[in-house]
């Protein structure tokens, strides 16, 4: 599969702080990206997406930043809460594979109360 | 709208057996993808079905197969199970881009 990698396998943050989860991708042709959150025993939950014609997209407490120059994606979580503790995956896709998604191995976020 | 549903949620099989997993996509979604998730491996793409046709296929042996019915429900089958097939099998459905996952089926091969 594609090399959709993550810079850090684990991340610990204090409750109330902001979290930043990073993701590197290798295919410059990728044109669509999704961040997922996976809690223990559950399937991945869609958080936010971004297309390659955008640099930034904001949701509720989350922001995704896309830097196509260095092929880097980040997820920022504001005011991190204990319920944010989970594994976060980034996924990329590009049209010439029929929008097949490629996933990184995930970053485990632990929120310290 | 109801989310993606998968049955069964848990399965225990022995080596050499076969297994069939089922997935019902979100209403209106015609694309269904299957993934295998194992510790440390992330999500590995198995295949995608769209309108009853396999549209994409990952790098898995032929023991892994799937199909999609006219109502978009999908099944995947694994024959001649091996210990290494123990994993969480996830189904995802989508519209054009956004992809939503089901809770998964936890398969344990003994």
CB A23 within 8 A of CB A30: no
Best of A101, A105, A106 to mutate (most B CBs within 10 Å, chain B): A101
CB contacts of A1 in chain B (<8 Å) are 44-45, 58-59
Question: What sign does the dihedral A5-B6-A47-A53 (CA atoms) show?
Answer: positive
Q: Can you tell me the distance from the alpha carbon of B2 to that of A112, in angstroms, rounded to the nearest whole number?
A: 33
Q: Is B85 helix (H, G, I), strand (E, B) or coil?
A: helix
Q: Quick check: B43 and A44 CB within 8 A?
A: yes
Provide the pLDDT for residue B25.
96
Contacts of B61 (CB under 8 A, 6+ apart): none
| Residue B50 in tokens | 């769209």
Question: What sign does the dihedral A62-A1-A31-B88 (CA atoms) show?
Answer: negative
CB contacts of A97 in chain B (<8 Å) are 56
* pLDDT digits (tens), chain A, 113 positions: 444 543 458 999 999 999 999 999 888 889 999 999 999 888 999 999 999 999 999 999 999 999 999 999 999 999 999 999 999 999 998 865 566 788 877 899 999 99
Cis peptide before B8 (omega within 30 of 0): yes
Question: Strands A107-112, A10-14: parallel, antiparallel or unpaired by DSSP?
Answer: parallel
| Residue A94 in tokens | 């590009």
Provide the pLDDT for residue A41.
84
Q: Can you tell me the distance from the alpha carbon of B101 to that of A6, in angstroms, rounded to the nearest whole number?
A: 21
- In tens, the pLDDT along B28-61 reads 999 999 999 987 667 899 999 999 999 889 989 9
CB B30 within 8 A of CB B53: no
Q: Quick check: A46 and B99 CB within 8 A?
A: yes
Alpha-carbon separation of residue A73 from A9, A22, B91 (angstroms): 15, 6, 25
Provide the pLDDT for residue A7.
42
| Backbone φ and ψ of B40, nearest 5° | 80, -10
Alpha-carbon separation of residue A34 from A52, A63, A92, B6, B61 (angstroms): 11, 12, 7, 22, 27
> How many angstroms away from the CA of A11 is the closest CA of chain B?
16
Q: Which of B42, B44, B98 sits opposite A106 (nearest CB)?
A: B42
């Amino acid at each position: 599969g594609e090399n959709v990698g993550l810079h850090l396998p684990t991340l610990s943050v204090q409750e109330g702080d902001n979290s930043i989860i990073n993701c590197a991708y290798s295919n410059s042709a990728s044109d669509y990206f999704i961040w997922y959150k996976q809690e223990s025993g559950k399937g991945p939950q869609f958080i936010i997406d971004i297309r390659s014609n955008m640099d930034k997209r904001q949701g509720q407490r989350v922001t995704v930043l896309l830097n196509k120059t260095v092929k880097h994606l980040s997820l920022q979580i504001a005011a991190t809460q204990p319920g944010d503790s989970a594994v976060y995956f980034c996924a990329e896709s590009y049209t010439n594979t029929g929008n097949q998604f490629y996933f990184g191995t995930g970053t485990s976020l632990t929120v310290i109360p | 709208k109801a989310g993606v549903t998968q049955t069964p949620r848990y399965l225990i099989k022995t080596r050499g057996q076969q297994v069939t997993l089922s997935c019902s996509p979100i209403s209106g979604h015609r694309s269904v993808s299957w993934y295998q998730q194992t510790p440390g491996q992330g999500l590995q793409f198995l295949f995608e079905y769209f309108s009853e046709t396999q549209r994409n296929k990952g790098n898995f042996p032929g023991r892994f197969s799937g199909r999609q019915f006219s109502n978009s429900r999908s099944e995947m089958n694994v024959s001649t199970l091996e210990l290494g097939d123990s994993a969480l099998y996830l189904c995802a459905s989508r519209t054009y881009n956004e992809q939503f996952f089901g809770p998964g089926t936890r398969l344990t091969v003994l």
